[in-house]
Structure 1
């Protein structure tokens, strides 16, 4: 079977798909990854075959510019909003207009038509796409291939869409506006494809979060569970990581998404390290070189290191401090490590994931404006001393381990029915 994996040029979005890509290859299927030119080095490093489609999007440059010009504007609408009094028709419609205009169109339009041409020429039997690559759903239907949406975290997209459609159905017919359907109808139409909701949610949706971290989701969506298998790209295990720590180790891994998108963090790392200095623990902070330089002198119990694979660091830790990004958070949970979560207010998936982990008892949440040396010391001490958090993280780990492996999902996706 021919399988096309499609992703806009976002490294963290694509890396989630790599374990499935190799499960499909190991089962003998032909796998091709399609993305914009900027992702080529990332894809080639995985060993999967790559083809470039379209041109690179400029979303990060635009978002940085908008963030500098109007810092609060980006947070006016969020998919993590749950308060009924806020979730009005005006709120959902306005938020969808902004999301389509300033995110989904910007990343998809540069690659949509070329991706359709690729699918018509290569004729995949199955297309797997990350949840913002709507152009892949159109390309799949243009060549009559089955296609599935592959989530990187909880399905905020599906839940928000369901809320929107529920209120849309209640509006008078002359007030029924749907910016997402209108936009997809235009792209699909010029490629000979009719609009349907499968262009939004796929013929099925793959979900790699465990039951503890799931959202109440629409019954109209068919979900296929898969075990989260950490893949952080090529990595070499540093020598120091081979030696077990002689006291509890705290891993600090805040990812790169916020810096890449907005150019700065919302928390003061020196405050974090100052708070951790009060603990009888070894602190390992994985940070880019520029951030390590800015920190200058750090407490004696701190080890500053460059990129270290989280899947190798996490098993050695008694606790971790993370930003709530699905990849980092799920990697820590897959090893049963409790976390202090400090999500950026500008990244809805970090906020959602952090809340769900806290709800499961496997972590504690500190909003960026609550992060001080004192609060970090207090919260991490609780993680280390209150066995309930470690037990809850262990329960989540066990439920993750019981989920179908990527090889099982590969068989499901390629079976005739």
Structure 2
């Protein structure tokens, strides 16, 4: 069987679908991963055969409408128009991607197309080839409305295929644990999360617990040298009273600045899947709750302090807190005092560790990528 994976425009899109792609290769199937040109090193870095599907840089796709007009980017990421904007540039990315995917399919016809949540080029290609389209999501966040913006930009391609909207998938796969999945979420084939990250040579301290409690502090965009950088600095100061060992996965510039200021921390590129089983707590930004960072922590039974920055992930972060495995602080609740209180609560109350372990056990009971591959094989044969 030939499986074509179509990833979105972020490394997490590749890391999330890579376990199923790897399981397919291990079972003897042929696999191709398609990504925007900038992300091909990410896909090849996790051992997947990869084709680049764009030549236009992603910033240019984001900035210019297909009509040639400059894109209007809303200032407020929580405004509904920002979701429409996101959908529009995802649509433009899909339009360019589809051109290359058609060339790939002419030489290497896939039996099934599997995509990230909003990689709509894969949906259109599958429709054109009359093969199954499988949509793979990996968070409780599945932003409603993005496809509407995409459909406007994809109007020529949809009309060519005789469609008035993006078709629905033949199968939805989701690796969000049932205990934190919204009750109104679409029915889906569960899949167990398996961490896939870019690696570096593991050092003993990464996989060994020390004498002190270990707290991981990370934050995606928070880790950059901008306003959110202060949130990480403030969190590190709060942890000083606990005499905790602080580990901060962060880009090089941010890591250098943190080490220069605090000295007694570990910061830099650290593989989370190796580190997380040694941690007592993780503090992070909940970018797409639980997101890949949150799922990696949940898999290891680690309590979480969540500080979601965008309104669209607030509800998802709340679900993890309601499960009892986290404390969630919304933007207007974040302060030096509230972060300190959250850390004290998570490190002092055993119930959070208990619930985090319960969540880890729930994940362990979910079907493995190899098991889910059987469902994919059946769908392709049918």
CA distance 1:315–1:196, shift in 2 (3 Å) = farther
The residue number in structure 2 matching 1:50 is 50
SS in 2 for 1:75: coil
Q: Does residue 100 of structure 2 align to residue 114 of structure 1?
A: yes
Structure 1 residue 297, shift from structure 2 partner: 4.6
The residue number in structure 2 matching 1:354 is 317
Structure 1 alignment gaps of length 5 or more: 64-68, 78-93, 166-177
Tell me which of 182, 189, 196 is aligned to 1:231.
196
The residue number in structure 2 matching 1:187 is 157
Q: Does residue 315 of structure 2 align to residue 315 of structure 1?
A: no
Q: Does residue 235 of structure 2 align to residue 272 of structure 1?
A: yes
Q: Does residue 40 of structure 2 align to residue 40 of structure 1?
A: yes
Alignment of 1:265-414 (within 5 A): 265=228, 267-295=230-258, 297-299=260-262, 302-325=264-287, 326-345=291-310, 348-349=312-313, 351-414=314-377
The answer to whether the 8 A contact 1:46-1:233 is kept is yes
The answer to whether the 8 A contact 1:341-1:363 is kept is yes
- The CA distance in 2 between the partners of 1:241 and 1:96, in whole Å, is 38
SS in 2 for 1:274: helix
- The CA distance in 1 between the partners of 2:274 and 2:60, in whole Å, is 29
CA distance 1:113–1:70, shift in 2 (3 Å) = closer
CA distance 1:247–1:259, shift in 2 (3 Å) = closer
Report how many aligned residue pairs link the two structures. Answer: 369
* Range moving further from structure 2, 241-250 or 389-398: 241-250
- The CA distance in 2 between the partners of 1:185 and 1:107, in whole Å, is 13
Structure 1 residue 60, shift from structure 2 partner: 8.3
The residue number in structure 1 matching 2:208 is 243
Q: Does residue 20 of structure 2 align to residue 20 of structure 1?
A: yes
The answer to whether the 8 A contact 2:222-2:232 is kept is no
The residue number in structure 2 matching 1:132 is 118
Tell me which of 82, 85, 105 is aligned to 2:91.
105
The answer to whether the 8 A contact 2:3-2:114 is kept is yes
SS in 2 for 1:111: helix
The residue number in structure 1 matching 2:78 is 75
Q: Does residue 175 of structure 2 align to residue 202 of structure 1?
A: no
- The CA distance in 2 between the partners of 1:341 and 1:60, in whole Å, is 32
- The CA distance in 2 between the partners of 1:186 and 1:361, in whole Å, is 48
Structure 2 alignment gaps of length 5 or more: 64-71
The answer to whether the 8 A contact 2:252-2:269 is kept is no
CA distance 1:381–1:35, shift in 2 (3 Å) = same
SS in 1 for 2:96: coil
- The CA distance in 2 between the partners of 1:62 and 1:181, in whole Å, is 16
CA RMSD of aligned residues (A): 2.8
- The CA distance in 1 between the partners of 2:171 and 2:227, in whole Å, is 37
SS in 2 for 1:305: strand
